[in-house]
Structure 1
Amino acid sequence: MSSSEDDAPLMRANGRVKVSPKSPEVVKMADSSPATNGHVDPGISIRFGPVEDKDVKMEDGEDALGAGKRKSRTSVGEKKSYAEAESSEEDEPLSKRRRTSVKHEDPETDDDVPLARNGRKLPKPAETSIGDESDSDVPIERKLAVQKKKIEQTAEAKPSRKPAAPKKEAKPAAAKKQTNGVKKEPAASKAAPKKGKAKVKEESQDAEEKDEEEEEEYRWWEDQSKGDGTIKWTTLEHNGVVFPPEYELLPQNVKMKYDGIPITLAPEAEEVASFFGTMLNSTHNVENPVFQKNFFSDFKDVIKKSGGAKDSKGNKVDIKEFAKCDFKPIFEFYDAQREEKRHLPPAEKKAAKALKDEQEAPYQYCIWDGRKQKVGNFRVEPPSLFRGRGEHPKTGRVKTRVQPEQITINIGKDAKVPPPPPGHKWKEVKHDQEGTWLAMWQENINGNYKYVMLAANSDVKGQSDFKKFEKARELKKHIEKIRKDYQKNLKHDMMVERQKATAVYLIDQFALRAGNEKGEDEAETVGCCSLKYENVTLKPPNTVVFDFLGKDSIRFYDEVQVDLQVFKNLKIFKKAPKKNGDEIFDRLTTSALNKHLANYMPGLTAKVFRTYNASYTMGCVLNEMNASGGTIAEKVKAYNDANRKVAILCNHKRTVTAGHANAMEKMGERIKGLRYQKWRLKQQMLDLDPTLKKKKGAAFFEIDEDLDKEWIEEHQAFLIEEQRNKINKKFEKDNEKRVADGEKEMKVSELEERLQAVKELEKKFKKENKTGKVEAEARGATVEKLENSINKIDQRVETMSVQAQDKEDNKEVALGTSKINYIDPRLTVVFSKKYDVPIEKFFSKALREKFEWAIKSVDEDWEF
């Protein structure tokens, strides 16, 4: 085969493509279809629909949806750049070329990831990485298909505008229990900057307040010199990391059982058993066959290494079958502990938290180039069972305890190195000024490196976010040329150019990720460049079905309509002798694609398209919106509707939570309760003035049809029980406060006296049900006051109805992913200021700190 095959027309390609550029198949490509921004109405999507048997059969008769999985190409470890293939190998498809054991990093972050092994520089994380990205590649339901088409048609470039200069500084806005027990943080209210509470000399206090004011006034986003070059810091001081507590043995009477027999395990094995035992309420994991298999395999290894398992008489027990293992005694023990902690008196909870904060205080901040910066994740991950996301093949594996000997510290040369725990030493101490990490170690499951980084609201993190969104804004200037070029190159004579154009088309139009290659022991996920034969099904005339495991092993299924030439190209790329397991883009790598994109704009990668399309679409939707009228709840819903359109474009999908239906039912009951309360107020108006029935009409005072007698009695019982619980809790809190203040507790007689109100309410409801009349309750009640109360209830009902509809609309769409990672936060700030909606309605306290630069840098006239 000639070494210049890629430079030749599509006459031959190792027996795979035999289509001449003058072939009728190519000449007949329809250019007359209605185009949108240079392409034919792409983006019509039918998601999660079945792949029917009538799917088009390729000419070579292959099965379009085979069961083959893409083979692993890389291994975890040393990082190299994936250079363009040399000319000696470009004649062959990538699947036939020499495979290299390389881990491909995101080109956007390569400059921050040096080598780590054999004494070389340690790998660095992307500056933008704060934790696991909450992204998902799972598409949304088919009912959103038409809407997505319309959105994508509007997401085309316009002449770029310079951002408006800030006119005024933004004014800071006033400021379910999950399965794992982590509670969501409520929206914070506006609070003044915290000052030191201890009383000090006036001069010292003034100096401290002055320092804090200077900290607040430092606006790095207005300092254009920041972030240039590769040196990230000159001086760096910190106190290292916090290790998780050592494992505490279970009581002697708490043991796992095997085949009904209590088992004694060595501490190492007992700890692993406790990992599984504490998770029994997480059925999504513990009932997963893959999770069970991986856990049991590691569990048996630990048992074997630690001396085996024994019964109460000391006889050895051979643990062979997972089904015979009973972890319920362990779960019950830890569950009782959780309940005990939950019911601790507030004073004890407060004291425990204060102690923990005091112990961790030295680790919460570092001194970075002389400035105090908050550290993000200074705690070393505790040992546990790996869960993973999506269909991860290693879910259930044991995450081992990280020892100081595995941890590398990064600190200034002249700074004091934090001491390791007694009897231990650090793996290494580095002074890497190009790194933004403070400490790092390698976890045992996937071989990934974990880093201690600065917090999301730090200067370094903010600069990284700022540059990411500015890069997406820069793409506006080049997107028209890029789209024009890939439309032209869809018919290119060279196979490699056709594949590049087709890949860029798919990434731009359908928000596909580029797809980095994975190692043998990593999850078998794919992206655009690594799509396999079985991941793509073609249905004439121009429908394409994508079905593969995307990021985080989450299934991506999407049925879309594409440009006719793209459909033709994909058909060519799937030609015989290709079969299941073969790559569709066999002459293209992610690195080669990103290198091609960098020719249009420095630093441009496939990843930037997702940020650009999300932010640009959001900007267009907000510009077309008129939300000046309406309540705050209605404005928030309007914003969420716009956000949802972006989530549609980016295919951000989430599974409907198990508690969604229950939550919606509760909201419905609360709304019905308000309507019942409204009816009672109207009856009280009649009690004060019976002539109102004639004046306002009998219909005004009638009860809603769905509030029948049975529901009313159930609701009254609920109100009675609710009041009883409130009185009991208030009594307990008052007693706790008395004890804390050194006073005597109130007697039970006091509680009984307070509970008389409950009995009176019960009597009142019985009388109302019997007579059908409601007496005016409040002293000095007037018809006008009651009417005002009714109007307030109407407003609450309207607000709750809007919130309920918003919640229902968003049940399957991950709004947070788009809002946090892909939509320029300045667009959210613009909406907040333009329509006078508190920023707390969109950003939690943590996000307000993370996006402080956005909140303070733009006004309502700024445009993406």
Structure 2
Amino acid sequence: MSDSEDDRPLIKAKSDSTISKSTDKAMDNDLPTSNGAVKPGISLAMGPVDDMDIDKPTTNGATKRKTSMPNGKSYKDASDSEEDDVPLQKRRKTKPASDSEDDDVPLVKKQQQPPRATAAQMGEDSEDDDVPLGQKLQQEKAKIEKKAEKEAQVLRKEEKSTQAKKLAKKVDSDDDDDKPLVKKKTPAKKEVNGTTSAKKQIKEESDDDVPLRKKAPAKKAKKGESDDEDDVPLKKKATPKKVKKEDASPAKGKSKVKKSEKTEDDADAEAEEEEYRWWEDPAKGDGTIKWTTLEHNGVVFPPEYEPLPKHVQMMYEGVPVSMHPDAEEIAHAFGSMLNSAHNVENPTFQKNFFNDFKDMLDKTGHAKDKDGNKVKIVKFDKCDFKPIFNYTDAEREKKKALSAAEKKQIKAEKDEKEAPFMHCMWDGRKQKVGNFRVEPPGLFRGRGEHPKTGKFKKRVLPEQITINIGKEATVPKPPEGHKWKEVKHDQEGTWLAMWQENINNAYKYVMLAANSDIKGQSDYKKFEKARELKKHIDRIRKDYKKELKSETMAERQRATAVYLIDQFALRAGNEKGEDEADTVGCCSLKMEHVTLRPPDTVIFDFLGKDSIRFYDEVQVDPQVFKNLKLFKRAPKVDGDEIFDRLTTSGLNKHLSNYMTGLTAKVFRTYNASWTMSNLLKEMKNDAGKPIIEKVKDYNDANRKVAILCNHKRTVAATHATQMEKMEDKINGLRYQQYRIRQMMLGLEPKLKKKKGEEFFALPDGLDNDWVKEHQAALVEEQRQKIKKKFEKDNEKRVAEGEKEMKAKELEERMSVADELEAKFKEERKTKKIEPEGKGPTVEKYEENIKKLDQRIATLNTQSEDRENNKEVALGTSKINYIDPRLTVVFSKKFDVPIERFFSKTLREKFDWAIKSVDEDWEF
């Protein structure tokens, strides 16, 4: 330890409890002039951030990636996630920031600066507007915040009016208890959420706050009158409403089918499970008891470790060594992932792995050479895991080489074995279990720069697992020779099984799947809480803007923190233990995490959630800049906290004074949903617009939300390649058009004079070399198609008990590709393209060119969309922060299939949103 470190005081420097007027005034000299209004903050940079500030979907302790087992087998996660549900790129390892003594010098000098948000990404035209994008973003944000302020005032006014009516109603009811309740219809007024249905308005005003179970039943419709859903109460009984998936009511004018006359289809319809629309019963789930009856079959354990063949051994100092299976399992885990340089070349990963490996060798008697002599393994760099990798890699390739039929059979066998564990009975309803597999042993990877990466995750035994199940249910049997740690009947818990892992001593839970009622209710409550924040956001912002100038340090720090959380979606942050990753949030920011660049730019650089680096350059209100400068004053040094008079719990307690259950994270959901809601209102429905352009309109709005709410990501490593492929596709279509035009000349040579030489010339950017290369690619593509079709046909024949076709058949089929190759060669030689197709005419060719124009336009739109989205985490906003009901509203209002926005997995997750709103719903 250096002398300077020895002399450093143990007690960290702390800000004064109050701010003197002289100090406050002295710091105003450096501030830019302001009109007094607090400016909304904007982000100037578009990366390199990925997933730091997003709420990850719960994985019940399992990572989203496929876990590679030590024996080379894949142990897939329970739910088959699709592309839309997984991170768009792998995390990038970053070097720690160098220490800086000057506040005005960025923390990372050598770090390539992230790209700026562009006008195109905001849907702005940068060519004819001299207003800087930063100013545009501030104006956009200010406009949205102004709308939010007005909305909040209207909502509170309506709420007071509703409460007054309820009170008046109660007084009338007490005065005349014996009189029958008559529901009077009041004149229709515009609802707070902007809907125009008079019946909905009446219902909103009269009984919105009355529990659904206590509402008076609606009058039965007279014969011949149509039933209006708005007038029918959602609940007539105390039990939750259940609706059949198909309407079984008889059509008008037809008599009801007698029991004896029921058709087979009727029986099937009745047998179909009734759908439980829990979102129409919001009171459900508010209590502490989450279930009454619960039955399930426990968990699935990973297969036991299979030792490597005797000829496959790790080398130590060039000598093959054998070891106990428990030690070999750890070596195998490392050796099998040598292709993952990001992990195995990480010094922390190597150190943690080798420590656990040596500990196991010490326990099991060390390694032995071929003669049985003890070999003590003491140095990592003398170990050679290549033989293990070569073997496991060959096994992986064998698995890939299996035919489709063999892979299908293996999957069917696995599914059959796991079928009993995939569902449980929750209060008599069949629910899908999210992750019923116990995590296999392996090397812990962690996210970002986790200090424990590389440590060995031990095998979880039944003796470590606690089962949660109903008292009357049959307890699942543990594996032979084992017993459960404990069996509980915790009706307040939504977990089915739990255990404690050895890396972070965290508890892992087996929960229901994302599309289950319980998980859906959790999402529903999250977004409803964000909607509730609408009523209070103006007061919160007004108060924190006022407290930004408070003389009390604690109040000024709290106001500054709320500003940063509201404007930049920072997490609040929690205290960390010594053995945990040094991750921080707003309240726990330290001196070295924040750099100030006058006049109003703040640079954040720290490890956030999951040890993912958060780097952002933001433009803040001058008063906020001044406050941060004040909080960073000497004698504070690196390691000292900036918000030293504020805690996360204290901040959340303060926020709960405005609204029950309000915490810092609700702001992210509210800001994203409110912004999206406003952008959707501004959109006009153009029935003639192609679906692809409507999807782009949605993505443009989503991108604005992501930029304004600071949901950013690093540009994917594959982005450039993807853009090149898309450009190749477009050029391929342009070349097709060129060939068709040449065919037109073959039919009518006079067209060259009529349409001009330029019309028939090779498109810009394409030359003879490109044509030759493109033609070769087309021929190769044709060969691959023929080969795949041949293999598929052979598999089908084998499955049906027929003989495989011989190689000669493949050769004959390949003649098509050979002819294509010869034709292209002849075209290049003669520079002439003969007309093709049945009954070719100029008119037909012109029609084909128009169709290709449409395809090119579509690809250009997709290309532009992808380019604009490369630095913006659209999935982050869409899945975690934008109320899914807004996406459903867009889908229904603009007649775009919901499949264009939600993958199958997300459609199941947000089933409640898809079924609960129409196009008039508003956030």
TM class by shorter chain equals 0.7 to 0.9
Distance (whole Å) between structure 1 residues aligned to residue 351 and residue 702 of structure 2: 40
Assess if the C-alpha contact under 8 Å between 2:39 and 2:138 holds in 1: no
Deviation at 1:589, TM superposition (A): 0.8
Distance (whole Å) between structure 1 residues aligned to residue 862 and residue 693 of structure 2: 8
Question: Which residue is equivalent to 1:245?
Answer: 303
User: What letter is aligned with 2:41?
Assistant: P
Question: Which residue is equivalent to 1:517?
Answer: 575
Question: Which residue is equivalent to 1:433?
Answer: 491
Mapped pair 1:162 → 2:193:
yes
Match of 2:796 among 719, 728, 737: 737
Q: Deviations over 1:662-695 (max 9, x none)?
A: 2222222222112112211111122222232233
- Residues 205 and 259 of structure 1, relative CA distance in 2, 3 Å threshold: farther
Q: Secondary structure at the match of 2:291?
A: coil
Match of 1:571 among 629, 646, 655: 629
Assess if the C-alpha contact under 8 Å between 2:46 and 2:871 holds in 1: no
User: What letter is aligned with 1:834?
Assistant: K
Q: Secondary structure at the match of 1:807?
A: helix
Match of 1:652 among 695, 698, 711: 711
Q: Secondary structure at the match of 1:615?
A: helix
Deviation at 1:41, TM superposition (A): 4.5
Question: Which residue is equivalent to 2:872?
Answer: 813
Question: Which residue is equivalent to 1:723?
Answer: 782
Task: Trace 1:267-666 onto structure 2 (pairs within 5 A).
Answer: 267-626=325-684, 628=686, 630-666=689-725
Deviation at 1:14, TM superposition (A): 7.3
Distance (whole Å) between structure 2 residues aligned to residue 244 and residue 654 of structure 1: 34
Assess if the C-alpha contact under 8 Å between 1:140 and 1:652 holds in 2: no
- Residues 205 and 359 of structure 1, relative CA distance in 2, 3 Å threshold: farther
Deviation at 1:21, TM superposition (A): 3.8
Match of 1:756 among 770, 794, 815: 815
User: What letter is aligned with 1:539?
Assistant: R
Question: Which residue is equivalent to 1:260?
Answer: 318
- Residues 411 and 330 of structure 1, relative CA distance in 2, 3 Å threshold: same
Assess if the C-alpha contact under 8 Å between 1:44 and 1:149 holds in 2: no
Distance (whole Å) between structure 2 residues aligned to residue 837 and residue 140 of structure 1: 35
Assess if the C-alpha contact under 8 Å between 1:385 and 1:396 holds in 2: yes
Question: Which residue is equivalent to 1:42?
Answer: 41
Deviation at 1:328, TM superposition (A): 2.1
Q: Deviations over 1:785-838 (max 9, x none)?
A: 222222222222222222222222222222211111111111111111222221
Distance (whole Å) between structure 2 residues aligned to residue 449 and residue 682 of structure 1: 67
Distance (whole Å) between structure 2 residues aligned to residue 752 and residue 47 of structure 1: 53
Distance (whole Å) between structure 1 residues aligned to residue 789 and residue 803 of structure 2: 16
Moved more, 481-490 or 637-646: 637-646
Q: Secondary structure at the match of 1:143?
A: coil
Distance (whole Å) between structure 2 residues aligned to residue 750 and residue 562 of structure 1: 71
User: What letter is aligned with 1:311?
Assistant: D
User: What letter is aligned with 1:367?
Assistant: M
Moved more, 19-28 or 389-398: 19-28
Moved more, 249-258 or 480-489: 249-258
Distance (whole Å) between structure 2 residues aligned to residue 352 and residue 14 of structure 1: 63
Give the TM-score normalised by structure 2.
Answer: 0.76
**Identity rate, percent:** 68
Moved more, 740-749 or 417-426: 740-749
Q: Secondary structure at the match of 2:530?
A: helix
Deviation at 1:213, TM superposition (A): 4.7
Distance (whole Å) between structure 1 residues aligned to residue 229 and residue 570 of structure 2: 39
Assess if the C-alpha contact under 8 Å between 1:573 and 1:585 holds in 2: yes
RMSD: 2.9
Question: Which residue is equivalent to 1:103?
Answer: none
- Residues 15 and 837 of structure 1, relative CA distance in 2, 3 Å threshold: closer
Match of 1:777 among 836, 846, 852: 836
- Residues 155 and 325 of structure 1, relative CA distance in 2, 3 Å threshold: farther
Distance (whole Å) between structure 2 residues aligned to residue 559 and residue 542 of structure 1: 10
Distance (whole Å) between structure 1 residues aligned to residue 263 and residue 647 of structure 2: 63
User: What letter is aligned with 2:858?
Assistant: T
Assess if the C-alpha contact under 8 Å between 2:46 and 2:712 holds in 1: no
Assess if the C-alpha contact under 8 Å between 1:155 and 1:613 holds in 2: no
Assess if the C-alpha contact under 8 Å between 1:168 and 1:859 holds in 2: no
Question: Which residue is equivalent to 2:222?
Answer: none
Match of 1:142 among 91, 99, 116: 116
Assess if the C-alpha contact under 8 Å between 2:16 and 2:553 holds in 1: no
Task: Trace 1:823-862 onto structure 2 (pairs within 5 A).
Answer: 823-862=882-921
Q: Secondary structure at the match of 1:492?
A: coil
- Residues 762 and 513 of structure 1, relative CA distance in 2, 3 Å threshold: same
Q: Secondary structure at the match of 1:584?
A: coil
Question: Which residue is equivalent to 2:174?
Answer: none
Distance (whole Å) between structure 1 residues aligned to residue 268 and residue 412 of structure 2: 23
Moved more, 619-628 or 323-332: 619-628
Assess if the C-alpha contact under 8 Å between 1:598 and 1:605 holds in 2: yes
- Residues 450 and 708 of structure 1, relative CA distance in 2, 3 Å threshold: same
- Residues 450 and 311 of structure 1, relative CA distance in 2, 3 Å threshold: same
Distance (whole Å) between structure 1 residues aligned to residue 394 and residue 823 of structure 2: 41
- Residues 23 and 356 of structure 1, relative CA distance in 2, 3 Å threshold: closer
Q: Secondary structure at the match of 2:438?
A: coil
User: What letter is aligned with 1:45?
Assistant: L
Assess if the C-alpha contact under 8 Å between 1:526 and 1:550 holds in 2: yes
Deviation at 1:847, TM superposition (A): 0.2
Give the TM-score normalised by structure 1.
Answer: 0.81
Match of 2:272 among 188, 212, 215: 212
Mapped pair 1:682 → 2:755:
no
Moved more, 844-853 or 441-450: 441-450
- Residues 842 and 46 of structure 1, relative CA distance in 2, 3 Å threshold: closer
Question: Which residue is equivalent to 2:103?
Answer: none
Q: Secondary structure at the match of 1:863?
A: coil
- Residues 228 and 555 of structure 1, relative CA distance in 2, 3 Å threshold: same
Question: Which residue is equivalent to 2:752?
Answer: 693
User: What letter is aligned with 1:143?
Assistant: A
Match of 1:822 among 874, 881, 884: 881
Distance (whole Å) between structure 2 residues aligned to residue 258 and residue 432 of structure 1: 51
User: What letter is aligned with 1:684?
Assistant: M
5+ residue gaps, structure 1, are 1-12, 50-105, 110-129, 170-191, 194-201
Assess if the C-alpha contact under 8 Å between 1:154 and 1:617 holds in 2: no
Deviation at 1:150, TM superposition (A): 4.6
Matched positions, count: 740
Assess if the C-alpha contact under 8 Å between 1:140 and 1:812 holds in 2: no
Q: Deviations over 1:481-512 (max 9, x none)?
A: 00101111122232222221111111111111
Question: Which residue is equivalent to 2:25?
Answer: 25
Assess if the C-alpha contact under 8 Å between 2:607 and 2:613 holds in 1: yes
